[in-house]
Amino acid sequence: MEFVAFLHETVYDFPMKRDIYNQLVAWKKTAERKPLVLKGARQVGKTFILQEFGKGSYEDVAYFNFEEDPLLHDFFTGRLVPEKIIQTLSIYREKKIIPEQTLIIFDEVQNSPETLTSLKYFCEKAPEYHVAAAGSLLGVKVGQSSPFPVGKVNFLDLYPMTFAEFLDAAGRPKLRKLLEGASFAPLPEAFHTELIDLLKTYYFVGGMPEAVGQYIKSQDFALVRRIQEEILQAYSIDFSKYTTKTEAIRLAATWASIPAQLARENKKFTYAEIAKNARAREYSESIQWLVDAGLVIKVHNTHVPKLPLAAYRENIFKLYLLDIGLLGSMINISQRIIV
């Protein structure tokens, strides 16, 4: 299915594709469909893609944001009966929710753990309703105060835009097809040069949708950098918002150490780079928090090149940021150096 969607009106006024759309369409069509949980770091575009998927594939979208409207949580207290919940939500939105025709979106669902628990009962007792849940820090918050519906939901992960998606957004879909279909033979010099230039631009802009949107709209690297800085500030606020003071300090220190560790020839993540005399037992939970929040990717080392690689994984690892543009922003590297 062809998908062309428009992002937030205040920043974007151009079509942008996301590859995950086809996976959402497949989820809708599968006979074994369960309620969907869309995971991903803050501001990678979860809300946008679910809303555009609903507009493009359903007759109606019932959108409920548990951060903007905390009163929604009251509908999920007591017995979690899907039909009762649907009836209440229909009255609340003043429009009936119709099975198969309405996509129900529970956004920022980490603020209502009972809503996540209700997905179990939608799976078991009301599979005719199409329900998708999303939220920031789901990997951190779920299961803390209410049981998670293990085995009763489907999962999809959304990441920052890839270089291929960036090419689509930049109006170069033919270059994307050329690159994806390329063999080991050299590309024609004209295409090679253009792709290198676009890749350098991607190294600076990265794949956060708002940053990509601003670049395509204005071609202004300073505005792109401002957006990246605002995203990083939002992540820092999350450290203190969802953890204790002590944990927030450790999270911030761990997070801040990553660019410097990547810049060196270190073959592994070194705790001493976080703070003097730092130990694994003190910071392992901070690292796991960042992994669960989707902010870093933990890559383990292996000396045995056999499948499955996970069976030969060692306790030596490196941490990489979720987005190359944010990495550049953290170290304040100039566009002149990259582009």
User: The domain that contains 145 carries what CATH number?
Assistant: 3.40.50.300
State mean pLDDT over 251-265: 93
Same domain, 230 and 120: no
The total of other beta-carbon atoms located within 10 Å of residue 314's CB is 11
- Per-residue confidence (pLDDT) for residue 133, from 0 to 100: 97
- Domain-ending residue, one of 114, 140, 157: 157
Same domain, 322 and 283: yes
- Domain-ending residue, one of 108, 139, 157: 157
Same domain, 133 and 34: yes
- Taking each continuous run of H as one helix and of E as one strand, the counts in the chain are 14, 9
Q: What is the pTM of this model?
A: 0.88
Same domain, 303 and 237: yes
- Per-residue confidence (pLDDT) for residue 68, from 0 to 100: 94
Q: Which of 264, 262, 242, 261 is nearest to 251 (CA)?
A: 242
Confidence at 142, pLDDT banded by 50, 70, 90 = low
Same domain, 53 and 175: no
Same domain, 111 and 240: no
CA distance 290 to 309: 23
Summarised one tens digit per residue, pLDDT across range 179-204 is: 999 888 888 999 999 999 999 999 99
Range of the domain at 123: 5-157
Same domain, 19 and 58: yes
Summarised one tens digit per residue, pLDDT across range 83-113 is: 999 999 999 999 999 999 999 999 999 889 8
- Domain-ending residue, one of 102, 135, 157: 157
Same domain, 108 and 194: no
Containing 217, the helix (H) or strand (E) segment is: helix 209-218
Total domains present in the chain? 2
Q: What percent of the chain has pLDDT over 90?
A: 74
CA distance 162 to 180: 13
For residue 289, give Cα distances in angstroms to 25, 82, 137, 248: 31, 32, 9, 10
CA distance 151 to 79: 20
Same domain, 211 and 255: yes
CA distance 51 to 104: 10
Q: Which of 185, 181, 124 is nearest to 151 (CA)?
A: 124
State mean pLDDT over 61-74: 95
